[in-house]
Amino acid sequence: MTSGDSDSVSEAADDLDPLIADLLDGNHRALARTITKIENRAPGYRDLVSQLHAHTGDADVIGITGSPGAGKSTLVDKLAATYREAGLTVGVIAIDPASPFTGGAVLGDRIRMASNVGDMDVFFRSMSARGTLGGLSTATTDAVKALDAFGKDKVIVETVGAGQNEVDVVRTADTVVVLVPPGSGDDVQMLKAGILEIADLFVVNKADLDGADRTVSELREMLQLRDGDVEVGGHHGFAEPSVDAGGDSAPASGTVDGGDGPAAEPWDPPIVETVADRGEGIDDLIAAMDDHRTYLVESGQLAATARTRYAEEIRTLLREDVRELLAAEIDARGGLDEHVDAVVRRETDPYAVAEELLEPLADCVAERRERD
């Protein structure tokens, strides 16, 4: 490293918030405080996340989802314990239902990581879904960045439940594992609503119970049936679409990286049977997830999906900021009551009100565009 490079690193370190500097030094208390600020959207949290970004990109992020009662928490506990036995550090974010009164996690910091109590290299945090579809909020994405920057080897995100809206987990995780309890045809049918397409691996947990074999067979049938109708391979099965300048997704070119080479073979989601409370099948699950990670790296999908994920994150932040900007403008104009009354009296209509409220913001944008 040259003296100029050394000076640049020193200046960058001097610019770091003390909390982030402590986090990067491996201080778990600083990590906890940072995630608390992120979850509460405390003043200055965006600066913290911005400083974290340059130190991210090394963690393997795993999403665990599935219907209530499928055994997600027990499975996560055993996964964390097994990773620790292998010398890997683990961060776990459990997305819990939000309290209708406080907005916080209803289940709080659940006593469910029994195998890892007292192990500082397993960082567990419950976070509130805060009403976000699928149980994943923007704060969760930022918390994953904190764990990644801290240096956790594996970051596991456990979601509230399963369903069409659970596709939000795709935006955070590199590998998505969907748990299905045995013996329930309804659970397998539910997967047809959309979660089938996001799974990189299926786990039939509690495989010692009656109906497990039937559930495995039903899953295999569904995967075979969709081969002719739906793009197979979970959310990483094909080349990700590129993102044009306007923020819209463009059709994939048929190659992983947009080049001239052939597209990668689609990933075929395996089905793993486990009995999590006894630790059975955990090694097989980890091996399958490792295979998927290898596939992502070798096919180029890991880099492609990261780009797509960042594009979606930017769009999400833009939507949030524009919503707050509009709310402030409406408040400055005395709120909506007068406009609503006018609509009720049929003196105007909702479209005209929306156009009127947006007009000053649209004018500002147009003026800025002309200056640029």
pLDDT tens, 201-227?
A: 999 998 998 888 888 988 888 888 766
Helices within 333-349 (DSSP H only) = 337-344
Place of tokens 């109708």: 229
Strand partners, 148: none
**Within-domain flag for 271:** yes
pLDDT in tens, 167-207: 666 678 999 999 888 875 555 665 655 667 788 999 999 89
CATH number for the domain that contains residue 66:
3.40.50.300
Whether 337 maps to a domain, the answer reads yes
Strands 242-243 and 249-250: antiparallel
**How large is the average pLDDT for residues 227-236?**
54
Q: Are residues 50 and 91 in the same domain?
A: no
Same domain, 45 and 108: no
State how many domains the chain has. 3
**Largest Cα–Cα distance in the chain?**
73
| pTM for the whole structure | 0.81
Among the three residues 55, 71, 87, which one is the final residue of a domain in this structure? 55
Q: How many CA atoms lie within 13 A of 57 on its CB side?
A: 10
Give Cα separations from 273 to 18, 35, 309, 310, 338 (angstroms). 46, 34, 30, 33, 60
Q: Is the pLDDT of residue 133 over 70?
A: no
Domain that holds residue 9: 1-55
- % of the chain surpassing 90 pLDDT: 45
- For residues 248 and 291, state if they share a domain: yes
Last residue of a domain, one of 280, 299, 318: 299
pLDDT band at 135 (very low <50, low <70, confident <90, very high): very low
Q: Are 13 and 116 within one domain?
A: no
Predicted pLDDT of residue 177: 94
- Residue 304 falls within a domain, yes or no? no
**Arithmetic mean of pLDDT over the chain:** 80
Per-residue pLDDT reduced to its tens digit, 274-302 = 999 999 999 999 999 999 999 999 999 99
Q: Which of 273, 299, 325 is the last residue of a domain?
A: 299
Q: 35 and 61: one domain?
A: no
